[in-house]
Structure 1
Amino acid sequence: MKTIDLTPLYRNSIGFDRFATLLDNAFRAESAAAGYPPYNIESLEDNKYAITLAVAGFTQEELNINVERGVLTIRGEKEKAEGKNYLYQGIANRTFERKFNLADYVEVTGADLENGLLKINLLKVIPEAMKPKSIAINNSSSTIEHKEEVVA
């Protein structure tokens, strides 16, 4: 597995410590689990996003959505179908876990399950202290006082 040297990024940036971990996790993602369930990530408008997962066959009770330390985790646990004798089973009703790393200040605002699609709504709430602000430049001349020392 290849690793990326982010040393040049750290020379001119502050607070990107989590960035290296995110990249490592992205490269380490298991290819087998990466395809199920399929999902979309949408940008709805400024600071509003949605993740939609295709969870056909899952009920609301079989799905669990959790956010912890900036990671959104969606789990689906399917009960084993007893008493069914499939000749062919092409519908993947298997247990899954899908994780998404959320950027700073991104909050989950709700989730809906409709027609086999689980839609999770996200909102980026930027605190006032983080919003850009204009700084006025004062045009006052500063005076410098000189004090003379008296030598006796």
Structure 2
Amino acid sequence: MSTVLDFSPLFRSSVGFDRMLNALENARRVASIDNWPPYDIVKTGEDEYRITMAVAGFTEDELTITQEQSMLMVAGHKSGESEENGQYLHRGIAGRAFQRRFELADHVKVVGASLVNGLLTVELKREIPEEMKPRRIAIATGEALPRVEARKTETEKLAA
């Protein structure tokens, strides 16, 4: 049994959450059949994340990692040169091309990537700009701020 969620009431009653609601809508539509290559997403710190993908058989030259705005794309394409001579009796190591997409939150950037023992690791960090970080506002003590007096309108001047 499948549960279908309707996000249209949220679109009508919220402002500025378009990207989040679109991401939820897109996630609902994604088929769960595409589960290769397997991957883990780990939160390693307050604003740090790690994506680890099992890409056995791929070299650094056959993998591409691209970040465009809030989308991280990891793709792998096997080169034809690596085919070994012989007939496979069983082929359990997948070598097919793939493209995996990850929707990133605002201000999340890729800080590094490595390929060790068939595991591709992509390090991510949320870097909030200084002007968007919370700041404390000092409260002045002692002298009160000068009062702003309301202007008298023409009718009040005439009545006086």
Shorter-chain TM-score tier: 0.7 to 0.9
Q: What is the 5 A alignment of 1:24-63?
A: 24-33=25-34, 35-63=35-63
Secondary structure, counterpart of 2:157 in structure 1: coil
* TM-score normalised to structure 1 length: 0.84
Q: Structure 2, unaligned stretches of length 5 or more? A: none
Q: What is the 5 A alignment of 1:15-94?
A: 15-33=16-34, 35-80=35-80, 81=83, 83-94=85-96
Query: In structure 1, what is the Cα distance between the partners aligned to 2:11 and 2:150?
Result: 45
Query: In structure 1, what is the Cα distance between the partners aligned to 2:29 and 2:10?
Result: 22
Compared CA separation, residues 88 and 145, structure 1 to 2 (3 A): closer
* TM-score normalised to structure 2 length: 0.81
Query: In structure 1, what is the Cα distance between the partners aligned to 2:21 and 2:151?
Result: 53
Which residue does 2:149 correspond to in 1? Answer: 144
Query: In structure 2, what is the Cα distance between the partners aligned to 1:77 and 1:96?
Result: 7
Q: Structure 1, unaligned stretches of length 5 or more? A: none
- Once the two structures are TM-superposed, the CA of residue 137 in structure 1 deviates from its matched residue by 4.5
Aligned-residue CA RMSD (Å)? 2.5
Which residue does 1:130 correspond to in 2? Answer: 132
Q: Equivalent pairs: percent with the same residue?
A: 43
Secondary structure, counterpart of 1:72 in structure 2: strand
CA distances 1:84-139 after superposition (whole Å, capped 9, x unpaired): 31011111121111000000000011100001000001110101111112234556
Compared CA separation, residues 38 and 151, structure 1 to 2 (3 A): closer
Is 2:105 aligned against 1:99? no
Mark the structure with the bigger radius of gyration. 2
Compared CA separation, residues 10 and 45, structure 1 to 2 (3 A): farther
Query: In structure 1, what is the Cα distance between the partners aligned to 2:150 and 2:21?
Result: 52
Contact 1:6 1:20 in 2 (8 A): no
